Structure 1
C-alpha cells in the first residue's frame, strides 16, 4: 500500500504515518512546517520529507490513498492534485476506521479526561501483555508511538476528539469511529470557533451516542448534570452505565483506593473519575476489578497531565495540559485537595481560539478562586498572530472574577516574577496546551526559591 500524508508533521498525523510504516506500508508525506519531536521521529523511521513545502508532483496515480491533516488548507496544491486524479482522500480518523472495521473499537470521548482515561486503559492492557491497537493524544511511558495499527490485534482503544476531522470533512472525529464501547467523560463548552453555542456543542455528543454500534455500550460520568440529562433523554437502544468517584482517602499527599487501601500515583477527583471509567472499560474487555486495581497503582499519569516536574521539601511543581475553564478549575481543585496545608501558585497560559474570545473568556469566572496566587499569561505575540486586540489585566481580572489575579503578556517577565516568589510550603501549577513562550519549565522547577 502506498500512502501519502498531506501535513505529515501534526501530532496524530506523524504518529499514524509511523504506525503505517511499521505495518509495512510505503509512506510519503509533506508539510510546510515540521516541529520537534515530529521531525526527529519521522527522520528516525526514514519518512521525513526531504524538503518543506507542498509539491503536487508528489501526488501520483499509483497512490492507494491520501491522508489529509487539519493543518492543510482546502486550496492546498497537493489536495487539488489528488482530487483531480480521483484519488481517495481520507481524514486520519476515517483511515483509522478503515483499518479497524473488523476490530472491537473502544472510543473515549468527552470535553476533558479523554487522554487520561485512554492512557489508563492502555497501561492496564500493557501491564497484562494484551495485544491491542491504540490512538492516544499524548506520549506515554512504555509506548514508542501514540498510534499502533496491526493486522492481528483484536481491539483498538481510541481517544475520540470532538474537533473537526479535516479541512474537507467537517464531522467531529469521534463521530467517525463507530464505537462498540464508548465513554463520555463529561461535557464543557469548547471549540467556540466551530461550535458557537453550548447547545450546538452538546449536540455533537448526542450525535456521538447515535454512532455507537447497535449492540454497543456507553459509560458516562453520571455526576455531570448536562451529560446525565443528555444520556437519559437519548433513545439509542444500547446499554448505558453511569460512573462516579470511587471510594478513596487522602493521607500525607497520597491518595489511597478503598477498600483495598491501594496507594495511587495520581490524584484529584477528576483522575478518580477517569479511573472509574477505565475500570468499567477494562472489565468489559476481560480484566477483573482486582486485576485492574493491581495494575493501576503503577500508573504515573499521561504526559502533561499533572506531570510532576520537581519535588523539593514542601514544594511540588506540576505541569498540566489544562486550558479550558472546566479543566482549569478541576486541576486547581485536585492540587489544593491533595496538599491542603500548602499554598498554591497557579499559572495558566491562554492561547487557543476559544480562550482568546472575549465573550468566552467569561466562562473562566471563579475558576482560580482556590489558588492563593492566580496568574494568567497570554503571549503578546499570540494576540498579534490571531489579530486580536490585546487584553488588559483589568479585562482578565474581570472575566475571571478575581482581583487577586496577576496578568503577564511576556514570558521573561513572568519567569522573573516566579523566580522572585518564596515557594516554601507552596506548590506551583503550570497549565497550558502551549509552551509558555518557550520557557524552560523543567529548569525553572529545579531552581525555584524553596
Structure 2
C-alpha cells in the first residue's frame, strides 16, 4: 500500500508492502532498471529515495520512502517525470492529499488523464487564477469511473458485439445506464462560468455597437458600412473564419462562346473551406416591401428583388464553375486563408442583410415571411432588426445560464 505524507518542505510517498511481501522486489527493480513504477502512476528513481528523520536503511524491508514533491511557495511541486506529465504539477499545500488524489480505481492515473486532454500546466487549489478550485477538483474525483462502473462498461461493450450471435445475453447496457443515472454529474462552475461571462459581455458589446451604427447609418459610406458590419457578423456567426472581398468568378452563360468576369463583393469561408456569399446593404427603412398593395399583397421593392436576383445569379455561376473555380479562388486569395485549407463550392448559399422591419404592419410582416420562405433553400434574407433580435435572444439566454451557474 502507499501513503502520502506532508513535511514542511517536502511531499513524501511511503510504500509499505503487504504482509506477504517485502521491499526487496522494489530494490531489485531500482537496481536493474534504475526506476520503479507504483500503482501504474508514480515513477521513481534511486534519486527519489528519501527518509523521514533518519538515514534510510536499505536492509529494512518494512517500507520505502520517496520524495513526491517539494514545497514551492503555497504549493507542492511534483516533477512531471514522476507522474508522466507534460508539465510539473502544482498542488495547494492546504489541500488534503491522499492516494485517491492521484490514483482512481484500477490504478488509473488521474492527472495523466487530465494531462492527455490539455496542453498546459495543471494547478489545483490556491490563489492562482488558472488553478482548478478545490471544490471542483473534489467533484472531478467523484466522477472518475468506479470499479463497478468500469465493469458495467466492459460488459456493455462485449454485449454489443455478441448480441447478434447469442439469445441469452443479459441487458448489460441497461444496467450501465441505470448505474450512471445514480451518479452525480460534474458541476462546472469555474472556467465555464468565466467563459460564459466573457461571451455575454461580447454579445452585449455587439448589441450596443450595432444599435449605435443603426442610429448613425446615414454617415457611413457603403464600403465602410460593409466592413464594420462584417466585423460584427463574424462574431455572431462563428462558423465563418474569413471574408474575401471582390472575388472574381466566371460567367459562361451570359455571352455564349466566351466567359465574362463577374465580381462578388463579399464571400464567406467556413472552417472546412466551404464558401457562401453575403450581400450587405445599408439599413434603409423602405428597402423591403411596397407600402401599397398590389392585388391585396405587399410586393418586394426593387432593392430587395434586385439583391435576391443578383445573389441567385452569383450562386448559379459559382456552382457551374466547380473544381476549377475552387482552385482559382484559392490561388488568388490564399494569403487571406489558413494554410492548406481546401476551398469547396458545395451547394453555396447566400445571406442578404438589408432594410428594417421595425415599422412593419402585421400584413407586411406576414407577406415578408412568405417572400423569405420562398427563397430559403438558397438565400437567407435578414433585416437589421432580425439581427438585433438574434443578438438580444442570445444575450437573454446567456444571462439565464450565467445567473443559473452562479446560484449553484
Q: What's the TM-score once normalised by structure 1's chain length?
A: 0.21
Query: If each structure's helix is expressed as a fraction of its own residues, which one has the higher value?
Result: 2
Give the structure with higher Rg (CA). 2
